[in-house]
Amino acid sequence: MTLNRRTLLKGLAAAPAAGAVFSIPRFANAAEIQLRYGNNLPLSHPLNIRAKEAADRIAKETDGKVEMLIFPANQLGGDTDMLSQVRSGALTFFTPSSLVIATLVPTAALNAVGFAFKDYEQVWKAMDGPVGKIVRDKIADARLYAMETMWDNGFRQTTTSGDPITNADGMNGLKIRVPVSPLSIDMFSALGASPTSLQFSEVYSALQTKVVDAQENPLPIIQVSKLYEVQKNCALSNHIWDGYWFIANGRQWSGLADDVKTVVSRAINEAGLKQREDIAGLNSGVQADLEKAGLAFNKVETDSFRAKLKENGFYSKWSKEFGDEAWSALESVVGSLA
């Protein structure tokens, strides 16, 4: 099934009715096993659409003996709440971004090292390969289980209300909003910017009132949040890639029969691969829509950003933070950073 891009964009901005939960096909016999899955995205986001397909497949392939109930759009609380719930077993599954689960498993932030990945080919080579394996092992140490397929969130881009940013010098003194993430704050500081951590709900007004002059987010978020109304230029910086880990409560997962694990993991992992394709298709059209809305785009000299981060000790600092094993796994894909 190919997802319609405009439908997805509308879904990204929409909130489902309170208490809504995806239904699954009902069979003659009641489900013997119920898997509860929570996330922070709207119903029409590709993650939820593909998770619904996985739930349908699980129900069908187990003759209704196993059902996965999906609670989207923070219905069960915010990311911190759901991470706590999946750890305690109140939730079976949760899909935190790497920066969210990094609060529990610091190594999970490895994919968010600034300007590490040049393109999606490197991203999936790392996350389906050595980087993903190390992170999954660390997640297991936290008594959680991570599915093999990581789901996509996208590359983050940089918008400004002033002149276009074409190289690292354009970051000097730039007042930019960043997430509440030590890695992000440190990266922009090393680039010479003046980063400010704000909740996302505050971003539009902060840009409008010039509390900050710039921000960074994936293109679909820039569109649905209408940030193009208060921003002039968008640098295709691809400075950070982030994705979602599909994690399970370790005790519940290990307690499932092997045949059930096979059905559930296959359905979720294959749905994740389709979700990656959805995001790729979504991103390819969003830029054109934003250009029509008046946002100007430009490419950047990525090497100048890497050079400045290296010069200011960002990579050497974080290579020590992550440790030799994790850092070597990242560099085995992207090349030398520190």
**What is the rounded average pLDDT of the residues 3-9?**
61
Mean pLDDT of the residues in the chain: 91
Q: Using 50, 70 and 90 to split pLDDT, how confident is the model at 198? A: confident
Partnered with residue 52 across adjacent β-strands are none
> Is-contact 168 304, C-beta < 8 A?
yes
CA end-to-end span of the chain: 43
190 half-sphere exposure, CB direction, 13 A CA radius: 24
Say what the pLDDT of residue 8 is: 60
Q: Using 50, 70 and 90 to split pLDDT, how confident is the model at 23? A: very low
pLDDT at 164 over 70: yes
Rg (CA), the chain: 20
Q: How far apart are CA 206 and CA 176, in angstroms?
A: 10
Structure tokens given for 237: 């910086």
Read off the pLDDT of residues 210-233 as tens digits, 9 standing for 90 and up: 999 999 998 988 887 899 999 999
Structure tokens given for 303: 């090497």
Per-position b or e across 280-304, b if 16+ CB within 10 A of its CB: ebbbebbbebbeeeebebeebebeb
pLDDT at 15 over 70: no
Q: Using 50, 70 and 90 to split pLDDT, how confident is the model at 265? A: very high
Say what the pLDDT of residue 117 is: 97
Structure tokens given for 15: 């909130």
pLDDT at 21 over 60: no
Q: How far apart are CA 41 and CA 95, in angstroms?
A: 10
Say what the pLDDT of residue 24 is: 45
Structure tokens given for 177: 């909003």
**What is the rounded average pLDDT of the residues 48-60?**
97
Q: How far apart are CA 268 and CA 81, in angstroms?
A: 23
